[in-house]
Amino acid sequence: MEKKIETVLDKLRPFLMNDGGDIQFIKYEDGICYLKFLGHCATCPMMLMTLNDGIKEALINEIPEIVDVKLINED
């Protein structure tokens, strides 16, 4: 599952990196993918829109086992 998630995230990373950010896969548990925004993405006011309309949609569409995507703050 982790490889599938990383493959989808790798397709999205160039768009985030163009704005000085990135995304990190934290874990997959009970159908939920947990992610963390890095760099400029972590403080961007559009963070939730990027998550819901871009990243979450892509992950759920490409990996049917994923039912939700959540952000966590883990340092």
Q: Across the chain, how many H-helices and E-strands are there? A: 3, 3
Query: Among positive and negative, which fits the CA dihedral 56, 35, 69, 51?
Result: negative
- For the chain, the domains span 2-71
Among 3.30.200.20, 1.10.1240.10, 3.30.300.10, 3.30.300.130, name the CATH number for the domain at 2-71: 3.30.300.130
pLDDT in tens, 1-22: 999 999 999 999 999 999 899 9
Instruction: Tell me if the pTM is above 0.85.
Output: yes
- 23 touches 36 (CB < 8 A): yes
pLDDT of 73 higher than 80? no
The rounded distance, in Å, linking the Cα atoms of 2 and 25 is 8
In whole angstroms, how far apart are CA 36 and each of 3, 6, 23, 57?
17, 13, 6, 16
